[in-house]
Structure 1
Amino acid sequence: MSQSIGITKYQLFCVVAASAGPINFGWNFGVTNLPGDAITKCINGPAHLIGGLPSCIPTSDTIWGLVVGCFALGCLTGALASPHYSNIYGRKTVLIYSNVPAIAAAIILALAVDLAMLVLARILVGVAMGASVCTFATYVVEITTPRARNSLGAMTQFGIIFGIMLSQTTSLGLSNSPLWRVLFAMTGALSLASMAVLRSCVESPKWLAMKGHLAESREALQRLRGDADCTTEFAQIASIVSCSSSGTEMVSSNIGAGDGCPKTCSVIEVLLGRTPDNLRHQLLVAATIMLAQQASGIGGVSFFSYSLFSSVTASNPSGSTSSPTLAQILTSVMAITGTLTMPISMVLAVYFGRRPLLIISHVLMGLCCVLISVGSIVGASSLTITMVFIYFSAFMIGAGPIPWIVPSEMTPTYAVAAIGAISSCVGYVCIFAIGLAFAPLLKALGGYTFLLFGAMNILAALFFYVYLPETKDRQVAEVVSVHSVGIHSVLRAKYRIEQQKDPEL
């Protein structure tokens, strides 16, 4: 049967094509890292005009943190808007047209003459990336089988880290004046490529069925499943339409599979608990898992790894030379290391559950944070640099990819877009806060900064040990039928996934 097959060629093509959005997100996430000093501190020489545009835009670290963090504010707006538009116009349509504001932002970035233009462009490109990444996560879950999702579900984080790696390595040659403008504007080229390749992908079969386009839904499903028999799977998807036609609102466990009533729930309805199933536990876990991802300190490392490495490689400070500094080279190598670690993470996801990988990831990151602080405090730069690399790799095996997968795997179709948007927004608020506060925090606390992140990682591991249900290789209906009973500890036997929901709970 089609539900039990793995990855097909066309399914892989659609996921890879749609991952252009996360790649662009990663590009914009990391692109401000290396050229920051060239822009704000004019290290390539006094400010002057080049082709009528200023060579640099001097400002303080705090204000530059605001420019960096504004990207997350835009992402928050895009993520909140994406469920509404993807439910109306389709996942593929939103993935394609979310690139339009990114292209506009690229033009503004290339022509920026002051901080206001940089802030506007960062917010605008954030809106595009927030909508794209949030919709991508939903799209992947809706076009893949449970087996294929074990690997392809990590494509969100893989795309993001690949984009960060591209931006960091490209920045080595483009971080001076006036080439930082070219670097910032490249997001437009990525967006144009994304729009072109996405036109060859199919729309989500589940979305098509929810809109009553059964023939198109079956055709899309068959293309995604190759030669497999899709009769049973399509019948489950088609039941959405039959529910709509009968006018009944199903509240049984069937709706947990996303095969009941097709009425989609908004963000407000989910927050207020106005859903057929009790999704309080799913909402708590989805929000916390994204909060923990950013509270782990990854945002600070990604945004300001150059500053961090510079602080422990004082013998090779940044200057006005065109040659890359040791800190810049280490930043790029770290991004490459993260990219190389992601395939390992995708393999681990096939054999191990989401829960153990996430817990192990946060524990390792917590230990690394403590050792980063120790190395910084005692002046052991080699220890600090080594631990940053291990920290980044530990992030990639669990805390990086899993938060993008789990919310969709434990949430019924009618609420998956809304809960995905809520969890994404929690993450974006944290990204903004860390982008704004990390540089001043690092300056004020020095080596002690990462002790805070170490504590956050240990707390996150404890939370997931108690509350995170296992979702690997399980249908959404199974997870919903057991865990839609309000907030509870998953350690208790009666909440094991193999058991059915007890109406008395």
Structure 2
Amino acid sequence: MTTATPPQVAARGRRGAVLGASTIAALGGLLFGYDTGVISAALLYIAPEFALSDAAQQFVVASLLLGAIAGAVGAGPLVDRIGRKTTLIVLSAVFTLGALLSALAPSTDVLVVARILLGLAIGGSSLVVPTYIAEIAPPTLRGRLVSMNQLMITIGIFTSYLVGYAFAESGGWRWMLGLAVVPSVIMLIGLFTLAESPRWLLTKGRAEEARNALLRTHSPADADASLDEMRETMREESRFSYRDLLKPKLRPAVLLGFAVAATNQLVGVNAVIYYAPTILKQAGMGDSAAILSSVGIGAANMIFTMLALLLIDKVGRRPLLLGGTAVVVAVLFGLGALYLLPSVHGLGLLLTAGLMLYEAAFAASLGLAIWLINSEVFPTAVRGKAAGVGTVTHWGLDFLISISVLTLINALTATGLFWIYGLFGLVGLVYLYRNLPETKNRTLEDIESSLRGRSEA
């Protein structure tokens, strides 16, 4: 029997520390998923209680996205001013307040205010959580730990569907919305045990504190190396402004980041996340059956996100993204065609199967790509500024999708809705096929050169 040497014990301790800190921060991703997904079931009971029209239902859903746009834009200056940890503490408090206010809302107006608050927290966390995890993680664990945020989002969505089904029989929409308090309070308490981001401390001239923070998750040699890397990156970033994103050298990467973010939303994924039970109910399913079907859709999203995380470094970005997007487009046209068939027996079950396939293909391609591609196609010095373009595109289009779903179904039928999303997806697929390079195992300089070559071809 062998015993672990002190260095091995220390390494395990550091690994446990960074995993624990990343998990606490990634609860922001779980809350992101839960608060966006739970409205799909709750809306079936909120609408009759408050006598909401289709337009009012859409605004209740979309109000969260208004907050998310503001949160994503406002979090950047805030996180640089007060720090990553402090910003996360503020966001978790807002998550808690929004969940409580949602559960207690006496009117539609109060519910909308609560969802705007939740949106502020979601938009902010979509920026701050990956940033914080990336800045505390050792290089060997950074990719997997940052990807944990996306996985937690899918777990949050799946959990919200399970909770929705659990309270479907009683119509307890207030419980559905209010249970988000549990992870938000856990996150709030846990954050007080974490260190501040070493990179932020370094930007404030607190080099010794930055090194001490790194030593919680890095060996001494790795901590010193990381500090040197941060200093070099900060010097590079200071040379660039947002105006530089328009220069010819960076334009191909910016356009690609925009195209991935736009395609991610324009295939209608959040129409499915927010309105799946409503769509299935309109196809003849009862409330409980429609919500149970959405659980299967959420499970497909979560499971295939896990599989994609395992495969992304083996198969590559380009095959997964292009192959998955092609399946998404084909399924969208197929779903639209289902509504044209006369008197289809079991239409609800066929739609459920189609939506599960759609969500699985999306999760394994566009679901990961919006964050991964944006993190790989930009030079390090402008990555933060450039990724903001994709983030604002994501939330802006998410808002437009969420506020138009029921209106488009009434105007164009469900067939028209799915086919419009399919056409958008087809345009995005063609653009990505022509312009997306493979980024697996390639240097940033090589990727940048490849992008310029494609744009000039």
Structure 2 length-normalised TM = 0.87
Do the aligned residues in 2 keep the contact of 1:172 with 1:329 (CA within 8 Å)?
A: yes
Q: Which residue does 1:49 correspond to in 2? A: none
Distance 1:57 1:130, change over 3 A: same
Within 5 Å, which residues of 2 pair with 1:124-143?
124-143=117-136
Q: Which residue does 1:252 correspond to in 2? A: none
User: Which residue, out of 91, 96, 101, partners 1:98?
Assistant: 91
Q: Which residue does 1:61 correspond to in 2? A: 54
Question: Is structure 2 residue 261 aligned with structure 1 residue 290?
Answer: yes
Deviation at 1:431, TM superposition (A): 1.4
| Alpha-carbon distance in structure 2 between the residues aligned to 1:264 and 1:76 | 27
Do the aligned residues in 1 keep the contact of 2:102 with 2:111 (CA within 8 Å)?
A: yes
| Alpha-carbon distance in structure 2 between the residues aligned to 1:262 and 1:25 | 29
Q: Deviations over 1:394-413 (max 9, x none)?
A: 11112112212222333355
Q: Which residue does 1:243 correspond to in 2? A: none
Question: Is structure 2 residue 49 aligned with structure 1 residue 82?
Answer: no
| Alpha-carbon distance in structure 2 between the residues aligned to 1:126 and 1:260 | 34
Question: Is structure 2 residue 44 aligned with structure 1 residue 37?
Answer: yes
Amino acid corresponding to residue 447 of structure 1 in structure 2: T
Q: CA RMSD in A?
A: 2.9
User: Which residue, out of 339, 348, 352, partners 2:311?
Assistant: 348
Structure 1 length-normalised TM = 0.79
Q: Deviations over 1:245-298 (max 9, x none)?
A: xxxxxxxxxxxxx25345386xxx41x337999533333222222111111110
Distance 1:462 1:263, change over 3 A: same
> Secondary structure at 1:212's aligned position in 2?
coil
Q: Which residue does 1:464 correspond to in 2? A: 432
Do the aligned residues in 1 keep the contact of 2:261 with 2:393 (CA within 8 Å)?
A: yes
Q: Which residue does 1:185 correspond to in 2? A: 178
Q: Which residue does 1:490 correspond to in 2? A: 454
User: Which residue, out of 179, 189, 202, partners 1:196?
Assistant: 189
| Alpha-carbon distance in structure 2 between the residues aligned to 1:489 and 1:163 | 40
Within 5 Å, which residues of 2 pair with 1:365-444?
365-378=328-341, 379=344, 381=347, 382-412=349-379, 415-444=382-411
Q: Which residue does 1:45 correspond to in 2? A: none
Do the aligned residues in 2 keep the contact of 1:135 with 1:417 (CA within 8 Å)?
A: no
Amino acid corresponding to residue 436 of structure 1 in structure 2: I
Do the aligned residues in 2 keep the contact of 1:338 with 1:393 (CA within 8 Å)?
A: yes
Deviation at 1:348, TM superposition (A): 0.8
Deviation at 1:492, TM superposition (A): 7.0
Deviation at 1:343, TM superposition (A): 1.6
| Alpha-carbon distance in structure 2 between the residues aligned to 1:229 and 1:109 | 45
Q: Which residue does 1:251 correspond to in 2? A: none
| Alpha-carbon distance in structure 2 between the residues aligned to 1:359 and 1:300 | 21
| Alpha-carbon distance in structure 1 between the residues aligned to 2:445 and 2:16 | 27
Q: How many residues are paired up?
A: 441
> Secondary structure at 2:193's aligned position in 1?
coil
> Secondary structure at 2:33's aligned position in 1?
helix
| Alpha-carbon distance in structure 1 between the residues aligned to 2:53 and 2:308 | 38
| Alpha-carbon distance in structure 1 between the residues aligned to 2:409 and 2:290 | 16
User: Which residue, out of 299, 305, 312, partners 2:276?
Assistant: 305
| Alpha-carbon distance in structure 2 between the residues aligned to 1:414 and 1:341 | 32
Do the aligned residues in 2 keep the contact of 1:151 with 1:350 (CA within 8 Å)?
A: no
| Alpha-carbon distance in structure 2 between the residues aligned to 1:12 and 1:473 | 24
Q: Deviations over 1:132-178 (max 9, x none)?
A: 11112223333445653443343232121111111110011224667
| Alpha-carbon distance in structure 1 between the residues aligned to 2:143 and 2:409 | 37
Q: Which residue does 1:22 correspond to in 2? A: 29
| Bigger mean CA offset, 124-133 vs 286-295 | 286-295
Q: Which residue does 2:4 correspond to in 1? A: none
Within 5 Å, which residues of 2 pair with 1:109-258?
109-144=102-137, 147-175=140-168, 179-226=172-219, 229-239=222-232, 258=233
| Bigger mean CA offset, 174-183 vs 389-398 | 174-183
Do the aligned residues in 2 keep the contact of 1:372 with 1:384 (CA within 8 Å)?
A: yes
Amino acid corresponding to residue 446 of structure 1 in structure 2: A
Q: Which residue does 1:246 correspond to in 2? A: none
Amino acid corresponding to residue 451 of structure 1 in structure 2: W
Do the aligned residues in 2 keep the contact of 1:79 with 1:425 (CA within 8 Å)?
A: yes
Structure holding more helix per residue: 2
Question: Is structure 2 residue 6 aligned with structure 1 residue 13?
Answer: no
Identity %: 24
Do the aligned residues in 1 keep the contact of 2:36 with 2:157 (CA within 8 Å)?
A: yes
Amino acid corresponding to residue 260 of structure 1 in structure 2: R
Deviation at 1:374, TM superposition (A): 2.0
Do the aligned residues in 2 keep the contact of 1:82 with 1:421 (CA within 8 Å)?
A: no
Q: Which residue does 2:286 correspond to in 1? A: 317
| Bigger mean CA offset, 95-104 vs 136-145 | 136-145
**Unaligned residue ranges in structure 1 (runs of 5+):** 42-55, 240-257, 319-323, 494-505
Do the aligned residues in 2 keep the contact of 1:466 with 1:489 (CA within 8 Å)?
A: no
Q: Deviations over 1:178-225 (max 9, x none)?
A: 731122122333222111222333333333323322223333334333
| Alpha-carbon distance in structure 2 between the residues aligned to 1:442 and 1:276 | 41
Do the aligned residues in 1 keep the contact of 2:245 with 2:254 (CA within 8 Å)?
A: no
Deviation at 1:25, TM superposition (A): 0.9
| Alpha-carbon distance in structure 1 between the residues aligned to 2:239 and 2:121 | 23
Deviation at 1:92, TM superposition (A): 2.3
**Unaligned residue ranges in structure 2 (runs of 5+):** 1-10
Q: Which residue does 2:5 correspond to in 1? A: none
Amino acid corresponding to residue 317 of structure 1 in structure 2: G
Q: Which residue does 1:361 correspond to in 2? A: 324
Q: Which residue does 2:422 correspond to in 1? A: 454
